[in-house]
Amino acid sequence: MTISFKVSDVTKEKMIEHFQDLKREKTPAYAIFQADEEDTVVTLYESGKVVFQGVSADIDAEFWKETEKILTGSMPEEKEKNKKEEKEDNTDYYFISSIGSDEVGTGDYFGPIIVTASYVNKNDITFLEELGVRDSKKVTDDKIMKIAPEIIKKIPHFTYILSNEEYNEWQKKGYNMNKIKSILHNRVILGLLKQNNFSYDMVVIDQFTPPRNYFGYLKDVNENVFRKITFTTKAEDKCLSVGCSSIISRYIFINEMDKLGKTVNTVLPLGASTIVDDKGKELVNKYGKEVLNKIAKLNFKNTEKILN
């Protein structure tokens, strides 16, 4: 698996510090360093481009994408290495009736993964625009807490909450993050379609892996597979149903994090930063290492830092 994207100068400095003791002796041309992070080879170039290669590339990439978001306020755009062409996508994803799904929590050490599929009829476009769904990724958590209940009341949707314990079981079976996301997107789309005979123009997913890989992840899953899917990048900006799913998932995630925090009498931090490590150490000292299985994604690098 290979994932690459560009990071800011401030994140570059963080990466240089983080990988100081993990660097390889030889460095590729134009690279600041190449390092080994367990099953992942990480290469940072002078341009700011960072490449993750290996079995756990998706996990390490998510960590640094979240770090970039925390430091700069925006998520870096992932680039598919195997793209054959970069044609402009002129498809109309907006002024249509659609089903779209999106997920939250894949880059957070603490908390579940939430995936939602929503159905938006084109007659609902004005209602959603007035709420600000068109720019769903720019909506603050405070605003999400206000507008999500209105969206939930009006927009048909189906949500799946993958608990930390279930996530950790799947990881033990060898499921990587992209396989887990594929399974959950498939489940919520099928779950939504069972609710009603919706009339829609297309079903849209924000592309996190090439379509061939997406369906490949579902080959050995003993579940029905929905196949008439349109994959596109930045789907939450193009498609209102994906934007709705993003907001609903975030709303549910915030509430679930609040519930989870109450089980350990603390506020659980988001992301996968050193602040998360400190909170993890505090909880392990108080409750024992077994507590992590209930509240955290154990395959994240944070677990090793916390237990060490």
Its CATH class, for the domain covering 2-72, is: alpha beta
* The model's pTM: 0.75
User: Does the pLDDT of residue 16 top 80, yes or no?
Assistant: yes
Mean pLDDT of the chain, nearest integer: 90
Residue 110 tokens, joined: 């603490």
Residue length, the chain? 308
Phi, psi (degrees; rounded to nearest 5) at 117? -115, 135
Backbone angles phi, psi at 231, to 5 degrees: -100, 130
Those residues with Cβ within 8 angstroms of residue 256's Cβ, 6 or more apart along the chain or in another chain: 111, 112, 114, 161
Neighbours of 239 (CB within 10 A): 30
**Where in the chain are all domains bearing CATH 3.30.420.10?**
98-259
Q: Looking at the chain, which residues constitute the CATH 3.30.310.10 domain(s)?
A: 2-72
CA distance 199 to 195: 12
Q: How many CB atoms lie within 10 A of CB 200?
A: 18
Query: For residue 158, is pLDDT > 90?
Result: yes
| CATH 3.65.10.10 is the classification of domain 98-259 | no
Cα gap 187→184, rounded to integer Å: 5
> For residue 251, what is the DSSP state?
H
pLDDT category of residue 221 using cuts at 50, 70 and 90: confident
CA distance 92 to 51: 32
Give per-residue pLDDT as tens, 98-157: 999 999 999 899 999 999 999 999 999 999 999 988 766 778 889 999 999 999 999 999
Q: Are 57 and 46 in contact (CB under 8 A)?
A: no
Question: For residue 41, what are its two tokens?
Answer: 């080879």
